[in-house]
Structure 1
Amino acid sequence: MSLTHWQICRLLISIFTILMKYLRYLLWPFSLVYGAIVVIRNWFYDAGWFESTSFDLPLITVGNLAVGGAGKSPMTEYLIALLKSNYKVATLSRGYGRQTTGFIIADRDSNAHEIGDEPAQFKQKFPNIIVAVCESRVSGVERLKDDHQVILLDDAFQHRALKAGLNILLFDYNKLHGPQLMLPAGDLREPTSGKMRADILIVSKCPPGMNAAEQESIAARLKPYPKQHLFFTSIAYQALFGFGDSQQATLKVGSTVFLLTGIAGSAPLVKHLQDAGCNAVHHKYADHHTFTLKNITKLVDDFNASASADKLIITTEKDAERLKRPEILELLKNLPVMVQPIGVQFLNNEGAAFNNLIENYVRKYTTHSGIH
């Protein structure tokens, strides 16, 4: 049986990915050096030799130890939805991948090139809150603190120059069982001992039906400290909506889905489509990838060449923000492009317990002593 050009490309990519996986282990000596530098840096902050600034208002950090997606953006959105009705909430991010510098407050017209894809996503979903970006979290909080009651810090767990009152640390379920190596051989930005700074540990992207025995096994692996609260969450796939409009759609068994992603963890979404009975054709790019005309032309050509009677293009919310350029919008015009939003679902009916921790911290906050 002969292979198509696309199948050959996918096979070569798979082989290259496997080779790179093992070649990374050759970088282990560099990981030792990097890890030592991170440990010393953290020790200097813990000992007070490096200054860590605190502020007299609730600061909540959402982060992870590894590079790549662990579900920080959906968790940040969960917190926004939880708090926005009762408090004046702001989010503060670095604005990864933006082509600007300095402190910027987003408006409805801000795009991913100006503020980064994730902040742009926050502003589109929650237009009535303040979404800000700044390389220095300390400077950013200084600019926001007088007009806000709560500031959510997206991906700032390693930003030790700022001392948050509540630290939420996420662990991707799909990466728990592999080797835990520091960069560049592995994916860790700091050793797993860094989890001691967290108040809440969350294992994200869990299978919805994960049993108690597996949860206990993971808890034994993570070894949370007595002061820490451990939760398990899964991805909640929400209704598809049209790219650029409010049109909604549902997945149909047997349909062909051309999936466009530039995110760190796309495997769960591919599985979701396959579980729904769809034939997924994945156009996969690196996290925060800036889509080019060539990328989108390839997507459009593959879509038009498909003989499937029922076909559509699906992308993620974060990726959709990087498609909002005139030349790309023109290519996608009149095509059925849908966006797949996701949310957070707590396992074991523990959403209320998590909400109480957050709300009690914000309500009773007096100093940066966390929730203990």
Structure 2
Amino acid sequence: MKSQFFKCLRIVCYPIGWIYGLVVMIRNYLFDAKIIKSTKYKIAIISVGNLTVGGTGKTPHVEYLLHILSDKFNTAMLSRGYKRKSKGLVFANTINANASILGDEAYQVYSKFPQVKVVVDKDRREALREIESSYSNMDVVVMDDAFQHRYVKAGLSVLLVDYNRIITEDKLLPYGDLREPASGKNRADIVVVTKCPIDLSPLEVRIIRKKLYLRPFQSLFFSTYTYQKPIAVFKEASSELTEVGSVLLVTAIAQPKPLKEYLEEQYKIVQSVSYSDHYLLSEKDWCDISERFRLLSGPNKYIFVTEKDAAKLVGCKYIPNDLKSYIYAIPLQIKILQGKQDNFNNKFIDYVEKNKRNIVAPKDQNKRYSKDWHNIGYRFG
């Protein structure tokens, strides 16, 4: 009933999409005609974003880039810090950072990549000026969710497209999910179709390529993700899970369905409770979660959350202490398909090598990149 209501509401709002689209097209024209100026910077800048609302996998792909780049270069990640409670410019390494100060996604990155400078600010231009002045040896900044942030001229622009929601078949908000017309894809240097099935066929690749109708200079890649072994969120929990009987999945993300389906394939009993994206769990919510967990049948039961949700649990005063030993996060790992991982990685490595500000790289010159993930130590708990 609720989904039918929203469907009807979108149809009623269809004319508003035309007005919204006109405003967006005028804005893009002003940037394209250089009437509104984009600022260029001395350091290499990589922008990662999408054309749609909802999850396309921005944070996992940003983490993938941080992994391959921070092996070799001095690297920073710049985010607006969505849903954070702090204001203005924040350098994560200069404070006692948490998800409330940085936002859940930025804190997730900070927790996993101690070698990366994490910066949050709504004003990206001001933040980049501060990064340039504060870190004279900074080589590259990866900007999260910045495809529409045209006030900054990124040297390499990455557009993420959900395999299940191809942008050329979508409509503008509020009728559809597009933030801007699908023609905005022409600004991207690299397009990644995300959340693909791991056995993506050559025929599907050709169909999607035709639907996207990219320009000759644009590179197209396909990615999928795999779920990794659960990791303890709090120090009260055992570092290794030996046996799992039943699971309560607690999520506050845009699209929890794939994770739930994965867990249902792995375990006999899986129950779930979902909240809206970026939602902060209240004391009442944790009382409800505790009761659901108590009623969950079977031995060896646990609470599983996403990495993004785990970031918000640190410092949460409402979590009952007796639950902390049962809470585990499920990490994601990105995989580039069609055997093109080396090609994909080297596009970013080569770009930064040609555009970094300092000429002496601070890391091992002989190590181009690592194909495997680090055993990154989390700062959770």
Q: Deviations over 1:177-236 (max 9, x none)?
A: 895111122211111100010000001111111111111111111111111000000012
The answer to whether the 8 Å contact 2:229/2:331 transfers is yes
Counterpart pick for 1:126 among 96, 113, 120: 113
Give TM-score, length-normalised by structure 2. Answer: 0.88
What secondary structure is seen at the aligned counterpart in 1 of 2:309? helix
Structure 1 counterpart of 2:81, which letter? Answer: G
Contact 2:168/2:211, CA 8 A, preserved across alignment: no
1:138 to 125, 134, 137: 125
TM-score by length of 1: 0.90
Q: Give ranges in structure 1 of 5+ residues lacking alignment.
A: 1-14, 368-372
Residue 323 (1) aligns with residue 309 (2): no
Question: Residue 297 of structure 1 contacts residue 331 of structure 1 at CA under 8 Å; is this kept in 2?
Answer: no
Q: Which amino acid aligns with 1:113?
A: S
After the TM superposition, which residues 188-203 of structure 1 pair with which residues of structure 2 at under 5 Å, given as runs? Answer: 188-203=178-193
Aligned residue identity for 1:143: E
Structure 2: gaps of 5 or more residues:
358-381
Moved over 4 A (4+): none
How far is 1:156 from its partner? 0.6
Instruction: Note the C-alpha offset of 1:58.
Output: 0.7
Match of 1:4 in 2: none
Matches within 5 A, 1:201-240: 201-240=191-230
Q: Secondary structure at the match of 1:249?
A: coil
**In structure 2, C-alpha distance between the alignment counterparts of 1:214 and 1:280, rounded to whole Å:** 32
CA–CA distance in structure 2, aligned partners of residues 334 and 351 of structure 1? 38
Residues 339 and 352 from structure 1, CA distance in 2 versus in 1: closer, same or farther, beyond 3 angstroms? same
Q: Residue 172 of structure 2 contacts residue 178 of structure 2 at CA under 8 Å; is this kept in 1?
A: yes
Shift of 1:72: 0.7
Q: Is the 8 A contact 2:48 2:142 kept in 1?
A: yes
Secondary structure class of the residue paired with 2:320: helix
Q: Which residue of structure 1 lines up, in the alignment, with residue 141 of structure 2?
A: 151
Q: 1:256 aligns with which of 239, 246, 252?
A: 246
Alignment partner of 1:294 is 2:280: no
The aligned amino acid for 1:182 is: L
Q: Secondary structure at the match of 2:317?
A: helix
1:29 partnered with 2:15: yes
Q: 2:90 aligns with which of 85, 104, 109?
A: 104
Deviation at 1:98, TM superposition (A): 0.5
Identity of matched residues, %: 36
Matching of residue 56 in structure 1 with residue 46 in structure 2: no
**1:10-25 alignment runs, 5 A limit:** 15-25=1-11
One-letter amino acid matched to 1:77: E
Which residue does 1:45 correspond to in 2?
Answer: 31
List aligned pairs for 1:263-282, cutoff 5 A.
263-282=253-272
Match of 2:160 among 156, 167, 170: 170
Shift of 1:239: 1.4
